Amino acid sequence: MLLLYVLRVWFEAHPRGGTATGWAAALAAPDISAALNAMHDDPAHPWTVQELADRARMSRATFSRRFGSLTGQPPLTYLTWWRMTMAARLLLEPASSLDAVAARVGYTSEFAFANAFKRHFHLAPGRYRHQAQARARPAAIATATAE
């Protein structure tokens, strides 16, 4: 389910063009997919470009250039996007505290996470959660009355 959500968000943010770039092209490239898989498997890890380049078995400069040409963004920008996408999904779970979400996506402080989330979505995490819950309420009411 999370994979489908991430794919939908990615493709909405990166409309198809005539070139073979984007997340799917990056996953199809064995070298870059090794780095992507590492980021996806452990988003909380404090990744560096050098560590990701090592996963891809490339020099730092070559990795950065190839990653950027395939995904359209630098590796750590992609990592931030991935973390924020996961965080947005985790915030939809009412039992997840802000501190727990921050830790799961690689932030050691709730404050740093909240600032990054707000920069990315232009909305504080608590406000995002509140708005998502408000949007879900009418759907839940409609489902309950239809039964």
Q: Which of 3-12, 28-37, 56-65, 100-109 has the lowest mean pLDDT?
A: 3-12
Residue 117 to residue 113: CA distance in whole angstroms: 6
pTM assigned to the model? 0.77
pLDDT classification of 28: cutoffs 50, 70, 90: confident
Greater model confidence, 34 or 13: 34
In the predicted model, is pLDDT for residue 10 greater than 90? no
In the predicted model, is pLDDT for residue 125 greater than 70? yes
- Angstrom distances, CA of residue 43 to CA of 61, 77, 107, 135: 22, 13, 10, 28
Structural contact between residues 12 and 44, judged by C-beta atoms closer than 8 angstroms: no
pLDDT classification of 139: cutoffs 50, 70, 90: low
pLDDT classification of 26: cutoffs 50, 70, 90: confident
**Please, what is the average pLDDT of the chain?**
87
pLDDT score, position 144: 57
pLDDT tens across 32-62, in order? 999 999 999 999 999 999 999 999 999 999 9
Q: Which fold has domain 23-146?
A: Arc Repressor Mutant, subunit A (1.10.10)
pLDDT score, position 18: 47
Structural contact between residues 117 and 30, judged by C-beta atoms closer than 8 angstroms: no
Rounded to 5°, the CA angle 4-6-8 comes to 70
pLDDT score, position 127: 95
Residue 27 to residue 20: CA distance in whole angstroms: 11
Domain layout of the chain by residue ranges: 23-146
In the predicted model, is pLDDT for residue 99 greater than 70? yes
